Amino acid sequence: MNERKPYEQSYYPPVPTGFTKFMRTNLIYQFFRFIIINIKMLRMVRKH
């Protein structure tokens, strides 16, 4: 049986990679995501 010790690496939250940080802060990517989410929302509103 594995013994768990405090302050092991598995207790720390995952750290975003450089690519993830880039995608989160890139304004062009964020603009396209905004457009896509708005299109999805409009489709959903039109159905009801």
pLDDT tens per residue across all 48 residues of the chain: 677 777 777 788 889 999 999 999 999 999 999 999 999 999 999 997
CB neighbours of residue 23 within 10 Å: 13
Question: What are the C-alpha distances in Å from 35 to residues 1, 5, 28?
Answer: 51, 46, 11
To the nearest 10 degrees (0 to 180), the angle between helices 27-47 and 18-25 is 70
pTM of the model: 0.59
pLDDT of residue 34: 97
